[in-house]
Amino acid sequence: MNEDAYAREMIAMLDDSLPLLRPEITERLRLAREQACTLATQGMYAHSYSSGHSVTWTEWMRQHRLGLAGMLLVLALGGGTAVWQAGGNGKDDNTVSIDTELLTGDLPVNAYLDGHLSKWVSNSSAY
């Protein structure tokens, strides 16, 4: 007799003899089963909790090293772009101010391309 057939036979015998048990025994068996199920559930949660904390920081780092490297690279790229943009914007704000002055100021644009003005500015002490 193999194990499956033996188990089925045992279950059939237990089922057949169940009506023969007294009610108080049936009730005790039901309570015992409920307690066993409760304990089994608690044990399962406790196991998952302890195993979650049993993973060390270094182990977690090792598991996610590729993702972390990618994240660091993206952060470095983003940070570099932001710094570059901030530096460029500051310089460009100054250029925009000068361009505004050149386009709206007292002298026409070609005055600032004229060699005379440049020379006069350089020799301004003569005035």
Partner 1 sequence: MGQQFFRILTVLGYLLCCAYPAWSAEPAWIGLSPAQQTILAPVKAKWDGMSEMQRKRLLAIAAKYPKLKPEQQRRFQKRLTTWSELTSQQRALARQNYRKLKRLPPRKQLAVKQKWLLTHQPKPPIVVATPDKLQIAP
Residue 1 neighbours by CB under 8 Å, 6+ apart: 9
Q: Is 70 in the site for partner 1 (CB under 8 A)?
A: yes
CB of 43 to partner 1, least distance (A): 24
With respect to partner 1, which residue has the nearer C-beta, 43 or 108?
108
Tally the C-alpha atoms within 13 A of residue 30's C-alpha that lie toward its C-beta.
Answer: 8
- Return the residue of 8, 64, 79, 87 that touches partner 1, per CB under 8 A: 64
Residues 19-38 that bind partner 1 (CB under 8 A): none
Using CB under 8 A as the criterion, what x/- string covers residues 95-124 for binding partner 1?
Answer: xx-xxxxxxxxxxxxxxxxx-xxx-xxx-x
Nearer to partner 1, 18 or 61 (CB): 61
Interface ranges with partner 1 (CB under 8 A): 63-64, 66-68, 70-71, 73-75, 77-78, 81, 92-93, 95-96, 98-114, 116-118, 120-122, 124, 127
